[in-house]
Amino acid sequence: MKQNLNWEDLKFFLAVAKAGGLAGAAEQTGVSAATLGRRVASLEKSLNVRLVEREARGYQLTSAGRDLLVRLEDMDEAARSISAWRESGSTKRRVRISAGDWTARLLMDNISAFWSQNDPWVPEFLADPRSRDVARRQIDIGVRSQRPKQEWLAGKKIGTVRYAVYQAASVRDEAEIGWIGVVEDEAHFPTGSWIRDHHGDDVTITVNRAMHALPLVRQGAGRMLLPMFVGEAFSDLVRLSEPIGSLQTERWLVMHQDERHEPAVRQALSALGKLLKTDPLLRPGF
């Protein structure tokens, strides 16, 4: 039965081979000559080949030892490259963030409000939250509409999302425009059901993703139910209704229990929370 290679043994053999003996390698590595000798012997045993000839004047590499040295020099170069990459700061923690369409756009349009190039973490935005699972570590932070139920997840409530009806400020005759409705999956969402139940007969244009309605609304092509953090951000839109209480949802930041205290994730949570809990009536452009 073959033994697994010990990477520490390979590292110590490389030091001995480059130094030409135990004394020089001990000085370079800070490991005793006796320990280095045992590690080289252990490597020979695991490889079942003699790597050095032990002579009075030092170690001489055998043919197999020289072959191994060539291969280890490539590994050593790779290790040096990785060390340089780490020291350059390119190893910042990438924090995967998942949110619905509207919230994802809010985050990306206001990224400078919660993140900068100097932060020790880098955001990675992932769309379609229904296919991203915090529990299975597919994402680090999920922006969700309810408290997590699984005991291995943690959640922090950061406010609510309210909905109202909006249309373009340029529309002079409200009778000239109808409603924009949603079809396919989003037709079954609470907002899609509300439009169908209250204004189904007035729908003229339909879209399969509610966020695709925004440019249509801004052009005066129809009125639409929008999250207030969206509608209030555009000066060319006017609100036609009070917030619709039956559609109000909570907003939660959800993360895995094991990740919540990791420094980069904790900083990302704090930064996201400060932006998302701001009242939409007070927040500048979307």
Tell me the DSSP string of 136-205: TTS-SEEEESS---STTEEEEEEEEE-EEEEEETT---GGG--EEEE-GGGGGSHHHHHHHHHHGGGEEE
Residue type, 271: A
Helix (H) or strand (E) holding 109: helix 101-109
Q: What is the pLDDT of residue 281?
A: 54
**pLDDT on residue 54:** 81
**Mean of the per-residue pLDDT values of the chain:** 87
SS3 215: helix
Is the pLDDT higher at 153 or at 128? 153
The continuous run of DSSP H or E covering 61 comes out as: strand 58-61
What's the pLDDT at 1? Answer: 44
Average pLDDT over residues 231-248: 95
Give the whole-angstrom CA distance, residue 152 versus residue 136.
Answer: 10
Condensed to tens digits (0 to 9), the pLDDT of residues 81-118 reads: 766 666 655 568 899 999 989 999 999 989 999 999 99
pLDDT of amino acid 2: 52
Does residue 235 register a pLDDT over 80? yes
Strand order in the sheet with 224-227: 224-227, 163-168, 237-239
pLDDT band with cut points at 50, 70 and 90 for residue 260 = confident
